Structure 1
Amino acid sequence: MTATATTPAATSATPETPDVPDACERDLLLRVLGAFLREDVVGLRTRGVRVERTDGPWLRLAASVGEDALLLPLAGDGFQSASTARLPLLVRESDGRELTTSAEIIDAVAACADPADRGGFEAFAEECRQTLATMRLHVRTRGEVGGLLTARYGADPAAWTGLAGGLAHDTLAARIDHPVYPTARGRTGLDEDQLRAHAPEFHPSFALRWIVVPRQAVTAPGNDPRLPLHWPTPAMLGLPDLLPTHIALPVHPLTVGAPLREALRATGLEDTAVLAEPAYLEVVPTLSMRTVALAAEPTVHLKLPLATSTLGLRNRRTIKPGTLVDGAAGQRLLETVIAHEPRFRDTVLVADETAYAHAGHELLAFLVRRYAAGLEDSVVVPMAALLSEAPDGRPLIDHLADRYYRGDPVALLDAALTLLFDWQTTLFGYGIALESHQQNVSLVLDDGPDGRPRLRLLLKDNDGPRINTARMRDALAGDAPDPSTFDDARIFGDEDRPVIDLFATITVHLCAGAFAFGLARHGRAPLDVLLRLVRDRLAEAVERLGTDPGQPGAILRAHVLDAPELPVKAMVSAGTLLTKERSGAVDINKHYTTGPNYLRTTGVSR
């Protein structure tokens, strides 16, 4: 997103910001400083000099001539970075002043940046302000939302079943931090009332708005968007005269207004499209917020463009029409692999994302996502929710473990990693890596046909893979799709490096390593035990691919299991701080630095 940051008055989620940093601000500052260090912002990692003081190690960053040097207190990390911030502050060396607010710290770091990048730091300061307000709002409303979920779904979140219960798990997931991006809870330009009415962390329901556009302006696969049963006609929206010529496209209420008017002007539809006055069709937001579930039919979700950003100012929540094409093509590719690997037919479920339509603009588009029937008695929980706080204060994973794994959350993680790594390494053998992060992979837990606990994976949003074309064609032969069936040319390449980078940063870091470090923080097992588990399960899956030179298993072993460093997403730099021209990012979601390999540990199985 290239627009300037929203002014504070437009986005304040709290009436006052305390002068003294509270627990929310301290947590945010630790995450921000850790991200700056991990991504080597202004050369913190490469230009900084480690110095020892009586209270421990510090990093000294010598600033430009005429500027103060900055001191950052260090602590060991290990998850994607060797070190992180030990205290939520920077110290100005000249006078010893402690900088303890996000505004002060970002101003001080920005002073060390190239003048061309100062605007990005200003935008990030606004992200921090918005995120801090949202974090405080989450603290104030924890009991309120917990009570709502308990009243609606019951006291035990392990009994919140089906796709409807999954929406409640989404609510819990929306209230915790992203494993990497420090300001993930912030949403550009939204105030408290808008969050309460539309954000997943409040579990609201609301009715959609609709824009009625000429049929000839709409593009859909086979000219048929395969609309759900509850879809309104123009007549149902009070526009009976347009019934023969127009079709209704859903619009998220937060997109109505200037963003929608501009989209209509850009497509030449401002004189022929009509925004219907009545709101229609009750929906509930999912974790992604722009995707909503039909309240009357939770197995059907609608992905709708939002004129806001998350995970970086440039990471807009709109829907580029090409991503709809790629998502459907990605789904078909996964189904082709499953047909070649029948052991996954009953363990890996793929949502149907082949129904969609658009009117040639990223704000005039929608996707209809349909889930398989028969999940009513299953717990469907996004991996992003596993470490979230249940209404009783315990991590959600504890409740799930009590129900399915005799109270052992490590056993649950073990089962999830065993299947996840088997699936993802199998895909790597076909030359494929998915952007299947914690939000896009759900665990499906239930009692299997034999009466024993069963765990399956449910996948969605398959529009951003990376594929080694030659390896895919070798593995699938005549079943391999032509790259022309995808829209984004960046998806395909002739080498493994982009596939390895995506595998490491998504499957390893976000869906495995993050849970090892997270469960250790919660005291569920020692970190070395949990990291050994991750490595052992990945090593077992890699072995199945063959470890002779040139085989996929050997490549993963060399570049993931045994590599001295692993790729790490530079999300803050590419998403907000730097323009694409300054960062060199071809794709802001796939722009990398490097960090230590926490799996390369002596004494573990090899």
Structure 2
Amino acid sequence: MSTAEQLTLRVLSALLREDVLGLRTRGRLDERADGRWIVLDPAAGATLALPVAEEGFQSEYAARLPLLELSGRRVTGLDDILAALGGLADPEDRPGWSAFTEECRQTLATMELHDRVRGQVHTALTDLYGPDPAHWTGPAAALGHDTLAAYLDHPVYPTARGRSGLTETQLRSHAPEFHPAFELRWLAVPAGSVTRHGERPLPSWWPTPSWLGLDLEGGDAAWATLPIHPLTLAAPPAAPRPAEPHTAAESRTATGAPQAGSPRAGSPPPGSPLAEALHATGLAGRAVLADRPYLTVVPTLSMRTVAVADDPTCHLKLPLATATLGRLNRRTIKPGTLRDGAAGQRLIEAVLAREPRFADRILHADEQSWAHAGHELLAVLLRRQPAGLDRAVTVPLAALLAPAPGGRLVLDHLADRFHGGDAFALYDTLLELLLDWQATLFGYGIALESHQQNTSLVLDEDGGLRLLYKDDDGPRVHTARLAARLGELAPEPDAFDDARITGEEDRPLTDLFTTITGHLCTGALAFGLAEHGRAELADTLALLRKRLTEAVDRIGPAGEPLRTGLLDAERLPVKAMVTAGTLLSKQRSGAADINKHYTSGPNYLLPKGPTGLTR
């Protein structure tokens, strides 16, 4: 099947899952000679039919063939399919369909680019870190796992590999799937216009204005420097390095102090995202952009977060003027989310202090150091990895099912080294710790948005497993339960900037637990192991239900909402990201949060009878 056909199937399946145009709830099943079809009749005066097969993960059915029928006429090709579907949509929603069509075109181009360069990238990773990813140890080599993960599709969003508005050159030079190295730009801003947080001193490599060659009024003490991602300047990179990772020698040379000589200081290009941000904050003409790039970095899986090449325990989360996972899902950094992430980390540490059995098994990045100048494009988070990772293999959950150099899955390599070749045993070990920890948090009244990108396995030389978390700016907190469990250690009501984080109901927590810990972190692996022939689906799902039940039982009465809303529910919440992120405006979708807007799907965790049907 061609790349275009694969994408078409993913898109059609997502539209069916999210009940776009009423396909799922108003359609009827039609048994034909070639298999099942879902028929929507009439739909805006036309009969719509989609060939389907049973799926069972987050939807009863998925698209079976990359086509649909419109009033008996077969429509193929993703552009034509989306044009046909968009023509049936409400006229008010058609701009969203046009945007989604362009999103699909960009994604297809990116997927085809991935197909062309994957072999080169794998060769480069092997040259850098060795042939076996189970031996890629330390923070620098962990970036290789991020690169492998970047070639996988998202479990929910069909066009996740696309990035709005970026050219091939920009992708090759800055996206994690190419493992490039590039240098940041730096902006000097009057110190009084910057809000800063964090008690730890900045790293020695953080430049002062004079270090950047800037001779500014008042001297260095009167100014703060903010790193700027090159893409935020909307300027093409000077020296793209397609499909070739950085080398240690390149990193040392580029990361060192700038060479002598004062560059011409100036302003960002007119019309660039950065220029617009400076104008909006009144900093235009006051902030100074250093002309000389400085500090070599390597992108992580999130792309807007980069690791310092010579100090890879330090990551910089930088705003990008692009969108992923939907046109409304901008990769900027709202200043309030920096405050929320820091508060989230402190909350997790308060729980850990009361739960000694997780000591040294649950790790968290330090996210207390951040700064912003009052705009979502003028912000930075300095994330520091915890100590003790130098001899460990650190792998994001998102990378486990990715092909490694040589073609085998990352999971296979890890199972060989740490579990005697038993991938099912590795999955079980992961489930025990991850579900125990997340259920414990739920018992305190906390659910984290710790999806497969924000959760990493840390595998130690002795075979021990730890989990590393980051990015806690979008949790849901049951304030009464938290106060009852933590007492005076519970955060103040105003600790979080986003009012949606706190509340007095369980439903936001069970929804988040189900869609993140359930679907993205554990359910997707259960289905993935079966799809790749590493275990039977009945066995992986039975194990998942068993470990989840044990974790819920362990927290006692506080776990009843999870038992009711996840273990025993007929249907489960499912992210409706295409609807909320691209197809509809927020006014039309009613989505208060793009990433927490839900439809529903079957509960794959319910016990199955001898016929395979849910009892």
Q: Shorter-normalised TM-score: what interval?
A: over 0.9
Q: Is the contact made by 1:206 and 1:282 (CA closer than 8 Å) also made in structure 2?
A: yes
Distance 1:92 1:590 in 2: 32
Q: Alignment partner for residue 68 of structure 1, among 6, 22, 46?
A: 46
- 2:496 paired residue number: 486
- 1:84 paired residue number: 62
Letter in 2 for 1:281: L
Q: Alignment partner for residue 254 of structure 1, among 212, 231, 243?
A: 231
Letter in 1 for 2:109: A
1:233 equivalent in alignment to 2:243: no
- 1:461 paired residue number: 471
Q: Is the contact made by 1:225 and 1:357 (CA closer than 8 Å) also made in structure 2?
A: no
Residue by residue over 1:141-178, the C-alpha shift from the partner in whole angstroms, topping out at 9 and shown as x without a partner, is 01110100000000001111111111000000001100
Note the 1:493-532 alignment, pairs <5 A: 493-532=503-542
- 1:217 paired residue number: 193
Q: Helix, strand or coil: the match of 1:281?
A: strand
- 1:7 paired residue number: none
Give the TM-score normalised by the residue count of structure 1.
Answer: 0.93
Letter in 1 for 2:591: A
Deviates more, 1:492-501 or 1:236-245: 236-245
- 2:338 paired residue number: 324
Distance 2:437 2:189 in 1: 42
Letter in 2 for 1:341: E
Letter in 2 for 1:245: A
Q: Helix, strand or coil: the match of 1:457?
A: strand
Distance 1:464 1:513 in 2: 21
1:344 equivalent in alignment to 2:319: no
- 1:555 paired residue number: 561
Distance 1:398 1:100 in 2: 37
Residue by residue over 1:277-307, the C-alpha shift from the partner in whole angstroms, topping out at 9 and shown as x without a partner, is 0000000000000000000000000000000
Distance 2:533 2:105 in 1: 31
Note the 1:101-500 alignment, pairs <5 A: 101-221=77-197, 226-242=201-217, 243-257=220-234, 258-447=272-461, 452-500=462-510
Q: CA deviation at 1:558?
A: 1.3
Q: Helix, strand or coil: the match of 1:369?
A: strand
Q: Helix, strand or coil: the match of 2:216?
A: helix
Q: CA deviation at 1:90?
A: 0.8
Give the TM-score normalised by the residue count of structure 2.
Answer: 0.92
Q: CA deviation at 1:51?
A: 1.1
Distance 2:431 2:153 in 1: 21
Identity %, equivalent residues: 63
Q: Helix, strand or coil: the match of 1:563?
A: coil
Q: Is the contact made by 1:225 and 1:356 (CA closer than 8 Å) also made in structure 2?
A: no
Distance 1:474 1:346 in 2: 26
Q: CA deviation at 1:191?
A: 1.0
Q: Is the contact made by 1:443 and 1:455 (CA closer than 8 Å) also made in structure 2?
A: yes
1:509–1:64 CA distance, 2 compared to 1 (3 A): closer
- 2:241 paired residue number: none
Letter in 1 for 2:563: R
Q: CA RMSD in A?
A: 1.4
Q: Is the contact made by 1:63 and 1:112 (CA closer than 8 Å) also made in structure 2?
A: no
- 1:544 paired residue number: 554
Q: Any unmatched runs of 5+ in structure 1?
A: 1-21
Q: CA deviation at 1:471?
A: 0.8
Residue by residue over 1:351-410, the C-alpha shift from the partner in whole angstroms, topping out at 9 and shown as x without a partner, is 000000000000000000001122111000000000001011111100000010000111
1:577 equivalent in alignment to 2:555: no
Distance 1:41 1:603 in 2: 32
Q: CA deviation at 1:552?
A: 1.6
Q: CA deviation at 1:423?
A: 0.1
Q: CA deviation at 1:225?
A: 7.6
Q: CA deviation at 1:134?
A: 0.4
Q: Alignment partner for residue 601 of structure 2, among 592, 595, 600?
A: 595
Q: Is the contact made by 1:387 and 1:396 (CA closer than 8 Å) also made in structure 2?
A: yes
Q: Helix, strand or coil: the match of 1:235?
A: coil
- 1:15 paired residue number: none
Distance 2:513 2:448 in 1: 7
Q: CA deviation at 1:603?
A: 6.0
- 1:24 paired residue number: 3
Q: Helix, strand or coil: the match of 1:127?
A: helix
Q: CA deviation at 1:63?
A: 4.4
Distance 2:286 2:201 in 1: 23
- 1:13 paired residue number: none
Residue by residue over 1:412-450, the C-alpha shift from the partner in whole angstroms, topping out at 9 and shown as x without a partner, is 110001000000000000010000000000000012xxx
Q: Helix, strand or coil: the match of 1:483?
A: coil
State the 4+ residue runs in structure 1 displaced beyond 4 angstroms.
none
Q: CA deviation at 1:240?
A: 2.3
Q: Any unmatched runs of 5+ in structure 2?
A: 235-271
